[in-house]
Amino acid sequence: MANVQMQFEQFNDTIRLGRFEENATLREKRDIIRRKLKANLPVVFKKYNEICPEYYFLDQGSYEMDTGTKPLDGDYDIDQGLYFLVSITEWPDPVKLKERVFEALDGHTNRVELRRSCVTVFYSCNDEPLYHVDVAVYSESSMNTDGKSYHAKGKQHSLPENRYWEVSNPQQLSDTIFDKFPGAEDRKQFRRVIRYWKRWKVVNFTAGGASAPNGIGLTLLTYYHFQPRYTDAFANKHNDLRAMRELVEVVLASFQLVYDEDEKAYVERLIVKLPIEPWNDVFDRMTARQMRTLKDKMTVLKDALVYAEGVADTRAACERLQMVFGKDFPVPEKQETASVHPPAITSSGNSA
């Protein structure tokens, strides 16, 4: 009913954070890390009497896919792929390679961590806004006999079974996701909807909490269940409210009962598999409790979307949407939504 497409598009313009090519801040932060690695990697390898393998960088993550949103707290989350021209047989222990990367970055800021999936550099310099760069380490595809690229998993002191090379191809993932919607305008709506999810997540889950669903999961939920929606298909006028409401409803309906070993009971889970190798469930690390919270918050989101679609007043719809999407969702002033009329003159009246 209420037409809030203008407000949704305004919201998208406010929260969108473009690609590296468009955004100097992102590029700058990324290039600091690239320069640091260029300068230090040869030194570190030399220290261990190893030859520094050739390597190159690839942008990955939401800023590469153009699904990024501006962080609310300034904590930009920058993803970099670091592709070493080595085979997984030359470096059977992926953590060893990650340790070299860690050492090349360590001391660069007060906090550098070697984590399960990447080496993370945290910045919290005096005036500089807080941000972090995740460097994911890969073995490049052409170096492996099966022609696949592999992602280095595991951390220091991990048990051997938790240190492994995992088949991974971020570029192929990105291509798979976006090739599903060939039309330029549909693809734009697809990206907008992913950004709405992500901002909803930031507003509704406490900062840095492990309880929040990860960005790739929300992106994949959209990939699997989103359908382009229009108010006028012939004029190519999109209806983001309806697309989002239908998407959230389908996602809520796709929670499934799974036996949980920790809870010793059947619990509801969202299973979101990567559409390419290694086909893993990207939400598999969420606990049963986190899943329940996710479902509760998604239900609140759905109710707000149903309400916004059900009321006639644009302003009432936007007020409700602001409650779930945060203050960047615009609420128009009453006057902006109304036409101007001449003054009315009324008489007294009788009723019974």
Q: Which residues lie near other proteins (CB under 8 A)?
A: 1-3, 303, 306-307, 310-316, 334-335, 337-352
| DSSP H or E segment with residue 152 | strand 150-153
Nearest distance in Å: CB 158, other proteins: 49
Rg (CA), the chain: 24
One-character DSSP codes across 287-327: -HHHHHHHHHHHHHHHHHHHHHHH-S-HHHHHHHHHHHH-T
Nearest distance in Å: CB 5, other proteins: 11
Looking from the CA of 26 toward its CB, the CA atoms found within 13 Å total: 25
**Rounded to whole angstroms, how far apart are CA atoms 169 and 166?**
10
Place of tokens 């007294």: 348
**Rounded to whole angstroms, how far apart are CA atoms 327 and 319?**
10
Residue with smaller CB distance to other proteins, 47 or 334: 334
**Rounded to whole angstroms, how far apart are CA atoms 20 and 18?**
7
Residue with smaller CB distance to other proteins, 106 or 249: 249
Nearest distance in Å: CB 303, other proteins: 6
Which value, to the nearest 10 degrees, does the dihedral of the CA atoms of residues 47, 51, 53, 54 take?
A: 110
**Rounded to whole angstroms, how far apart are CA atoms 48 and 100?**
9
Nearest distance in Å: CB 54, other proteins: 60
Q: Establish whether the linkage from the previous residue to 278 is cis, with ω within 30° of 0.
A: yes
Nearest distance in Å: CB 305, other proteins: 11
**Single-letter amino acid code for the residue at 344:** A
Residue with smaller CB distance to other proteins, 89 or 299: 299
With contact defined as beta carbons under 8 Å apart, do 11 and 329 qualify? yes
Nearest distance in Å: CB 346, other proteins: 5
Tell me the backbone φ, ψ of residue 250, rounded to 5 degrees.
Answer: -65, -40
Residue with smaller CB distance to other proteins, 145 or 348: 348
Nearest distance in Å: CB 330, other proteins: 16
Nearest distance in Å: CB 338, other proteins: 4
* CB neighbour list of residue 127: distance below 8 Å, 6 or more residues apart: none
Q: How many Cβ atoms sit within 10 Å of the Cβ of residue 68?
A: 27
Comparing CA positions, the residue from 153, 227, 138 lying closest to residue 190 is 227
Comparing CA positions, the residue from 83, 192, 88, 92 lying closest to residue 138 is 83
Residue with smaller CB distance to other proteins, 12 or 314: 314
Nearest distance in Å: CB 272, other proteins: 27
**232 forms bridges with which residues in the sheet?**
237
Helix 215-225 and helix 184-204, axial crossing angle in degrees, nearest 10 = 140
